[in-house]
A and B are shown apart, each in its own frame.
Chain A
Amino acid sequence: GAVVSQHPSRVICKSGTSVKIECRSLDFQATTMFWYRQFPKQSLMLMATSNEGSKATYEQGVEKDKFLINHASLTLSTLTVTSAHPEDSSFYICSARDLAGGHTEAFFGQGTRLTVV
Chain B
Amino acid sequence: AQSVTQLGSHVSVSEGALVLLRCNYSSSVPPYLFWYVQYPNQGLQLLLKYTSAATLVKGINGFEAEFKKSETSFHLTKPSAHMSDAAEYFCAAGLMGNQFYFGTGTSLTVIP
Contacts and interface: CB of A to CB of B under 8 A. Distances in A.
Interface of A: 1, 4, 6, 9, 32, 34, 41-44, 49, 91, 93, 95, 97, 99, 104-111, 113
Interface of B: 32, 34, 36, 41-46, 49, 51, 90, 92, 94, 96, 98-100, 102-105, 107
A105 B45 CA distance: 10
Contacts of A49: 98-99
A111 B48 CA distance: 20
A42 B105 contact: yes
A109 B21 CA distance: 24
A20 B92 CA distance: 28
B93 to A, nearest CB: 11
B11 to A, nearest CB: 14
B37 to A, nearest CB: 11
A9 B110 CA distance: 27
Interface centre among B44, B45, B46, B49 (most CB of A within 10 A): B44
Contact of A43 (B41, B90, B94): B90
